[in-house]
Structure 1
Amino acid sequence: MTHTSLAPHLNFRGQAREVLSFYRSVLGGDLALVTYGDAQAAQDPAQTDEILFGQLTSPGGLVVMAYDVQRGLAYDQGVNSLYLSLRCATAEEVQTFWAGLREGAEIEQDLGPSGWSPLYGKLRDRFGVVWVIDLIVP
């Protein structure tokens, strides 16, 4: 049997490097970035330094991918089309990630108890991505 994984892949218009760098500052980990120029795939010279492939892998195995949509393709970030659910094993992890992600964010549900978790919060980060963060109840 092979190992299969699923990772959120976020699409932006010129912000992928900034987004993944910010998430790395909050979540830690290794960042892999390939620009359109690196891959000789820029159809528009203005996109040469934008991200064709970006991936953050945290020490705990969390993977977030992002790229900058090609200039010739339509782009609409949408509303409520995707949430990133960050499920944590400790309250300390929840509070640490919440503190980092809330910088410049719009808080949709402040951190506190919910019907399924003693610690839950929801925010739209400064890049428009919605994160739901909670403490896993065993």
Structure 2
Amino acid sequence: MPLNAYLNFDGNTREVALFYAEVFGLEEPVIQTFGSMPADPNYPLPPEAQDRVMHTFLNIGGSMLMFSDTFPGMPYQQGTNHFSLALVLDDENAIRDAFHKLKVGGSVMMELQEVPWSKVYGSLTDKYGISWQFSLVSEQA
């Protein structure tokens, strides 16, 4: 059973998901908005919720990364140290490419370098406040 990360944003999920699709060379994701769901007359949808993303996902290296916007009026607090996403691949070029694309507008905590557990490891926080770790799978691991 897979464990999937689910990221919530406050109205800019579409931008985030499209950015990550570009970074990882994926097709644009199918995006379901709150307004695209069948209407329930008992719970009318506020106009400001119509275009917010209810759900979308990307398959990155065999793992599903899911996204949604918060519903208008719901609390939202951007956190940079509550979780990180770890990209662990056996393709050094793919790691380097993603790292360099994600660091634009973000902040690098550790440039890609050799560490005891990986020939290539690094970490950064992207321009959306998401913390990332990158690690090249070694034959010794």
User: How large is the Cα RMSD of the aligned pairs?
Assistant: 1.6
TM-score w.r.t. the length of structure 1 is 0.88
Q: Which residue of 2 aligns with 1:80?
A: 81
**Closer, same or farther in 2 for the Cα pair 1:72/1:54, shift >3 Å?**
same
**Closer, same or farther in 2 for the Cα pair 1:100/1:79, shift >3 Å?**
closer
1:33-112 to structure 2, matched below 5 A, reads: 33-40=31-38, 43-58=45-60, 60-112=61-113
Which range moves more in the overlay, 95-104 or 127-136?
95-104
From the CA coordinates, give the structure whose radius of gyration is larger. Answer: 2
Q: Secondary structure at the match of 2:31?
A: strand
Take 2:125 and 2:116, find their aligned partners in 1: how far apart are those partners? Answer: 21
Structure 2 gaps, min length 5: none
Take 1:107 and 1:14, find their aligned partners in 2: how far apart are those partners? Answer: 25
The answer to whether the 8 Å contact 2:6/2:67 transfers is yes
Q: Which residue of 1 aligns with 2:17?
A: 20
1:78 offset after TM fit, Å? 2.3
Take 2:105 and 2:46, find their aligned partners in 1: how far apart are those partners? Answer: 31
1:118 offset after TM fit, Å? 1.3
The answer to whether the 8 Å contact 1:32/1:56 transfers is no
Give, as a single letter, the amino acid of the residue that structure 2 aligns with 1:125. Answer: D
Structure 1 gaps, min length 5: none
Take 2:34 and 2:10, find their aligned partners in 1: how far apart are those partners? Answer: 13
The answer to whether the 8 Å contact 1:33/1:53 transfers is yes
Alignment: residue pair count = 134
Take 1:86 and 1:28, find their aligned partners in 2: how far apart are those partners? Answer: 14
1:44 offset after TM fit, Å? 2.6
Same amino acid, percent of matched pairs = 31
- Residues 49-68 of structure 1 deviation map (CA, whole Å, 9 limit, x = unaligned): 1100011124x423211100
1:40 offset after TM fit, Å? 4.5
Which range moves more in the overlay, 90-99 or 126-135?
90-99
Runs ≥4 residues deviating over 3 A: 40-43
